[in-house]
Amino acid sequence: VYLKAIEAHGFKSFADKVDIKFDSGVTAVVGPNGSGKSNITDAIRWVLGEQSARTIRGVKMEDVIFNGTSGRKAMNYAQVGLVLDNRSRKLAIDADKVTITRKLYRNGDSEYYINEDKCRLKEINELFLDSGLGKNAYNIISQGEVDEVLKARPEQRRNLIEETAGVMKYKLRKKESEKRLEDTAQNLSRVNDIIQELE
Ligand code: ATP
């Protein structure tokens, strides 16, 4: 899965609809201070489901909406779409191109879409699980994060390796199965009690 394009509209400094395209290989973004380079990585984090305004350098989530300049009035919503190349079918959707979109209105309403279909954030998280993409998948390494990995406790580092290796999905499923087993055992014991009472 690789990022083909970012379509942003009303997100931070991107008042006009922008379509930033990426080719395979390395892309470098250059520009003067304050021109909006970091707003691009903020946009990616945001669509991947970032819930903390602070992580994307805001105070409240509505701060991501274009808040106007001297010559231009503020927007009412921010929308960002990530266009992903899914020819590898790593994302469990039968399409070569998958677009994940997040939209936030000034009144706080928020919407997520997979392709054109409205969905919940949970579905996006599930889609990304073990794909190597996602909010916690180390797609974006900010300054200081390399240090954090080096300083992490062994269990934290193990989590990181397991997420990268793709075993997280199985761990989650194992947990769900164990819970179901436990529920069934409890039901059985209740049935046994009833049988004994009847005998
Ligand atoms: P540096 O090299 O200094 O890190 P940069 O190129 O990464 O700069 P960003 O930090 O991405 O720049 O962009 C900051 C710019 O985005 C500022 O000019 C700021 O005014 C603008 N900006 C941020 N949020 C909004 C918003 N909600 N509405 C309008 N403009 C915004």
Per-residue pLDDT of the chain (199 residues; tens, 9 = 90+): 889 999 999 999 999 999 999 988 899 999 999 999 999 999 999 999 989 999 899 999 999 999 999 999 999 999 999 999 999 999 999 999 999 999 999 999 999 999 999 999 999 988 988 777 877 777 788 777 788 888 989 998 888 788 777 787 788 889 999 999 999 999 999 999 999 999 8
Q: How far is the CA of 141 from the centre of ligand 1 (A)?
A: 19
Domains annotated for the chain, with CATH where assigned, are 1-135 (3.40.50.300)
DSSP 99-157: EEEEEEETTS-EEEEETTEEE-HHHHHHHHTTTT-STTTTSS--TTHHHHHHHS-HHHH
Q: How far is the CA of 140 from the centre of ligand 1 (A)?
A: 18
Q: Provide residues with CB under 6 Å of ligand 1.
A: 12-13, 31, 33-39, 63, 65-67
Which residue has tokens 């390395």?
A: 26
List binding-site positions: 32-39
Ligand 1 atom 24 nearest Cα: 12
The token duo for 25 is: 């290989």
Task: Please tell me the pTM assigned to this model.
Answer: 0.79
The secondary element (H helix, E strand) that includes residue 43 is helix 37-47
Return the amino acid letter for 20: I
List binding-site positions for ATP: 32-39
Q: How far is the CA of 78 from the centre of ligand 1 (A)?
A: 15
The packing angle between helices 154-165 and 168-198, to 10°, is 100
